[in-house]
Structure 1
Amino acid sequence: MRKYLPEIIIGFIPVLIAFLIYIGLNVVPVLLMGVLGFAVVYAARSRGKMTALPRQQGRSNAKMTPFTFEQIGGQERAKQELVEALDFLVHQERIAKLGIRPLKGILLSGPPGTGKTLLAKAAAQYTDSIYLAASGSEFVEMYVGVGAGRVRDLFKEARTKANKAGKSSAVIFIDEIDVIGGKRDGGQQREYDQTLNQLLTEMDGIHANESPRILLIAATNRKEMLDSALLRPGRFDRQIEVDLPDKKGRLHILNIHANNKPIAEDVNLDRIASESFGFSGAQLESVMNEAAIYALRFEDDMISERHLTMAIDKVMMGEKTDRESTKEERERVALHELGHAIMAELVRPGSVSQVALSPRGKALGYVRHNPQADQYLYTKPFLNEQIMIALSGAAAEEMFYGDRSTGSRGDFEQSINIVKTLVESGLTDLGIVDSSMMTKEAWAHINRSILDELMVQTKTLLEQKRDVFTKSLETLLLEETLSGEHFRRLLKAHTAA
């Protein structure tokens, strides 16, 4: 009888409406109440379904491709620290003897593209765990309570899948956790607060004797935005910094991505690693991919250094454009870039990697610098030299044209940022000051005093190389691109003359 109850009700409703009309009752209020009741029930059922994660069904059928720590380059320190933390899951009997509490959460923080998601995948493979991934934005809805329900469903799904697969542990990875884990300021964001509270509750519920064990790995680019309740011991017990790779790490990453590509024998990846200072792992992968695309474009069978150099320029500044400029504009741009290159060679010999006159991205020309070694601490003389290199383009324009152009705007912004670094580091005549307490007038005064003084020094040095400008200008206009070695030969020949 209960099996056919929905059909009986559906058939009874029109009969009831017809009977009410027959006896002369107004059925409009009844119909309105019925429609309203149906809408309320439907909304309640829909909201219950919405608490499930949107891609839960897709995750249940997906199989994670095996991924190991050996496939990740440039993060040796982060990998070592992560493996040490994961050993608490792998060697459970050993840590139980020592009375060590299992870790509940690991936070990976660092710039975009440094491999945080890859580390989480490798962690699941290393511990032979079920792996589930979600983004912080998946838990955010306009309806209060939906995010909290999705957090519960995520942890429940991890336990269910681990039990079905016969695994003793599961790894949950939440990317961009700052979306739901931001600092609570006592405002009216009830949905965010409830979602975060539910996440905190689930992490507290991960006990040592619980089976399967769940390890939460989260990634963020803005660690300072996270709530203190998330960062305390007992929740995220390990906070691992995944930083940009150094030269050795960049070389490792380039070698990994070069394995499946035909690389010419004379390619020096060590030099490419030097020229890609400040690149993330994702950018280095893009360099190798763009180099292969250039080889395909030019119908070459092997990837050469020329392709890799062009790929670095593209990743750094964008694709070449077909903007046409006047002869006067090209000469001004050439003198501007020669100013940057000559000053760079004067203060740091051997630092110029390329001088280019071809438009790329938003730039009409550019100078690519090649740092001799990775550097993380900067002195006042070093930063002053950086400012002089940035100002030298405008100084060269003033030397030959008596005025500047809008092409120096980015150089001035860079110079002002370096002055800000000098002030905040206590490397100016102001001494050690709280930069947030400085007025706009104080900032204007310190910027003007430092930049005006360094501009005078820059012009003095460049004036001594005026002949180099005039003799190199023709070569740059003709060839459009000068390698660092070619430029240094010109500079040395003209200086000797």
Structure 2
Amino acid sequence: MDKKNNKNNNNFFDKNPLLLFIVFAVLIVIVFRSIAPNGINELNNLTSNKQVQVYTYSDIKNLAKEGKLAYVAIGQKIVRAKLKDGEVITVQKVPNDSTLVEILDKYKVPYGAINDNNWLSELIFGWIIPIFIFFAIWMFLASRMQKGMGGVLGIGSAKGLIKSEKPDVKFDDVAGNDEAKEEVKEIVDFLKNPDRYIDLGAKIPKGVLLVGPPGTGKTLLAKAVAGEADVPFFAVSGSSFIEMFVGVGAARVRDLFNQAKKEAPSIIFIDEIDAIGKSRAAGGPMGGNDEREQTLNQLLAEMDGFDSNEPVIVLAATNRPEVLDPALLRPGRFDRQVLVDKPDFKGRVEILKVHIKKIKAGKDVDLEEIARMTAGLAGADLANIVNEAALLAGRKNKKEVNQEDFVEAVERQIAGLEKKSRRLNDKDKKIVAYHESGHAVIAEVTEKARKVKKVSIVPRGLAALGYTLNMPEEDKYLMQKSELIAEVDTLLGGRAAEEVFLGEISTGAGNDLERATDIVRAMVSMYGMTDVAGLMVLEKQTNRFLGGFAQQREYSEKTQEEVDKFIKEFLENRYKHVKETLKKYSPVIEAMVKDLFEKEVIDGSRVRELIKAYEEGRLEEVINNSSNEKNNEAKEENNDEKNGNNS
């Protein structure tokens, strides 16, 4: 019981060091105040405690005249006198008074001087206590800096910076990555039952590297491992080890691993490990950043220092595995790489089911339809869509979240926020309507192109004055040459429609042309789909998760000229084809533009209806039917208003 109380007291003062300092300082002051003189009579009282009356300075003079004094001691501040009966009295001296000495000489009373300055009190209260207070404050601030920043000036410790936790996340909370979960389940089993593997002589992987695009749930999966194993979880970002001073990161790595070993079995999770784990060869023959390299070297040494059966697992996450140092990826350190990729259709449905539990969803919500619309999005994007749909429903004062809210949330995620305040004038509205109609018609009549979900001329995002939402019919992991060409044709459809129907082009096709050029360039330089470079790869993709191409050119100027010439001619040929197609379907374009002017938004089903009607020779009939339906709806609305007024 005593041990438990002592432990609780220690924890209390550890958590409240300022209170401990104040208590200690007050005790010191009380002790020294108690032994310091209040006057000096208690400290130097000679023999007797007897005191029959209170004396004054003038009483000393009268006693001298009466012959009752045996001895008088005179100081700078006090006068102490011993009476002939043995009583000792002490009184305050009147400053600058010389008459007392004259009286003592006249009546022949022995007198002398005393030192009434208390050197012990002066030393204690003038030097020792102030120095102690200054030292205590300095130690307190230093300890706080050490906990918060890794030592004085941020040097040395990860305590306070890195704390263990026990996440409540489980594998059931991680959806869409079944293969990744299977890979890390044996880590959980090892942390729960290490003896089972040790008895068999098996060595569990020391480190597991989670690799994948941003937002795919790498951190969530790491937390789920710790949550399933019910072990301490030390989470830290790779950038937390990098400081201005050389050696800080290495010291923090040491401290992190020491903390993890003390609480073993445990998990260390380093997010964005590429911040400290970049290849040391990247710095050239003279090396790279000294601080980063020392931190990386210390991390390598700590992972080597693990006993093969020590129940501490290092998990790390990155979306840039190609930049990591080879020494970090060798067996014995990060033995295993687990791909946490973007979810497929089934995975997206599962992720939506996890997040939709947190909101009040209506019965009309179709998760499969939402999953089809969100091909290529990561788990974080899907979570944001569910949250955005709930926010939209809340703004409309709804009691539940409906399918239309989810569709609007998907459009926000893909195309950006709808800018209702940015109203287009009739001229710009006409240009955008023809532009988006061109995209939509080419997408629908081109084989292997992605089908149209919605066409809108309502501005969205930072720069989009309109958009055509295309969605694939199924998840695609590879694209054939014909599919890439169909994508190029669709991108060129907007500019071609402006030229064919308006006779003049605008600046609205800038991004379309950029994307079309990138596709054709990749066909030439990366995929070997043309005769210009044959099977020779001219450019290398730098990151399969983040995209981008290597900028270093490893081919001749002549090859570059041939590539540029081919891209230009290829785009011109596809542009001619697109313009001819649009001229063929000009009645459909005009019908779409009319609909967009009236409604601003039309569904892909309407686009397909107009195209099919044109191909069957009944476009006018469909347009007239739509006009009649619209007139009937207007009449019904007017009748309802009249009935309401009559009521």
TM-score tier (shorter): 0.7 to 0.9
Structure 2 residue 330 is the aligned partner of structure 1 residue 222: no
Distance 2:172 2:439 in 1: 41
CA contact (8 A) 1:468 1:495 kept: no
Deviation of residue 300 (structure 1)?
1.5
Residue in structure 1 matching 2:240, options 133, 138, 146: 138
Q: Post-superposition shift, 1:59?
A: 5.2
What displacement does 1:80 show?
A: 1.0
Equivalent in the alignment of 2:535: 432
Whichever residue aligns with residue 354 of structure 1, its letter is K
The residue number in structure 2 matching 1:29 is none
Is 1:174 the counterpart of 2:270 in the alignment?
yes
Identity %: 40
Matches within 5 A, 1:292-441: 292-321=390-419, 322-347=421-446, 348=448, 351-361=451-461, 362-423=463-524, 424-430=526-532, 431-435=534-538, 436-438=553-555, 439=557, 440-441=560-561
Per mean C-alpha deviation after superposition, the further-off stretch among 138-147 and 87-96 is: 87-96
Query: Is the Cα–Cα contact under 8 Å of residues 458 and 465 in structure 2 kept in the other structure?
Result: yes
CA shift in 2, pair 1:69/1:474, >3 Å: same
Deviations 1:114-156 (A, max 9, x none): 0000010011122222101000110001100000011111111
How far did residue 68 of structure 1 move?
0.5
Per the TM alignment, residue 317 of structure 1 is displaced from its structure 2 partner at its CA by 2.2
Aligned residue pairs: how many? 457
Contact 1:113-1:283 at 8 Å conserved across structures: yes
1:28 matched residue in structure 2: none
Secondary structure of the residue aligned to 1:240 is strand
Q: 1:302 to 1:248 in 2, by over 3 A?
A: same
Aligned pair partner of 2:171 in 55, 64, 69: 69
Greater relative contact order (Cα 8 A, min sep 6): structure 1 or 2? 1
What is the one-letter code of the residue matched to 1:216? V
TM-score normalized with structure 1 length: 0.86
Alpha-carbon distance, 1:52 to partner: 1.9
Residues in 1 aligned to 2:156 and 2:452: alpha-carbon distance in whole angstroms = 56
Name the larger-Rg structure. Answer: 2
| Alignment-derived partner of residue 482 in structure 1 | 602
CA distance in 2, matches of 1:178, 1:201: 17
Query: Residues 449 and 487 of structure 2 are in contact (CA less than 8 Å); yes or no, is this contact kept in structure 1?
Result: no
SS at structure 2 position matched to 1:112: coil
Alignment partners' CA distance in 2, 1:369 and 1:359: 17
Using the TM superposition, give the Cα deviation of residue 84 of structure 1 relative to its aligned residue in structure 2, in angstroms: 3.3
Distance in 2 between residues matched to 1:46 and 1:171, nearest whole Å: 24
Name the counterpart of 1:199: 299
Unaligned runs of 5+ in 2: 1-26, 29-122, 132-141, 539-552, 619-647
Q: 1:8 to 1:170 in 2, by over 3 A?
A: farther
Kept after mapping to 1: 8 A contact 2:211/2:337: yes
Q: Distance in 1 between matches of 2:323 and 2:165?
A: 33
Change in CA separation of 1:302 and 1:490 when aligned onto 2, cut-off 3 Å: farther
Which residue number in structure 2 is paired with residue 102 of structure 1?
204
Contact conserved, 2:372 with 2:471, CA < 8 A, in 1?
Answer: yes
Q: Would you say the 8 A contact 1:109–1:223 is kept in 2?
A: yes
| Cα deviation 1:346-379 (Å, max 9, x = unaligned) | 1247811111110000200001112111011111
Residue number among 93, 96, 112 corresponding to 2:195 in the alignment: 93
Asked if the contact 2:276/2:296 (under 8 Å) is kept, the reply is: yes
Q: Does 1:452 align with 2:572?
A: yes
TM-score of the pair, normalised by structure 2: 0.67
Q: Which residue of 2 aligns with 1:35?
A: none
Decide whether aligned partners of structure 1 residues 484 and 10 sit closer, same or farther in structure 2, where only a CA change above 3 A counts.
farther
- Contact persistence 1:339–1:462 (CA under 8 A): yes
Paired residues of 1:111 and 1:221 also in contact (CA < 8 A): yes
CA contact (8 A) 1:47 1:146 kept: no
> Following the alignment from structure 2 to structure 1, what is the Cα–Cα distance between the partners of residues 507 and 561?
24
My pick for the range that moved more, 423-432 or 142-151, is 423-432
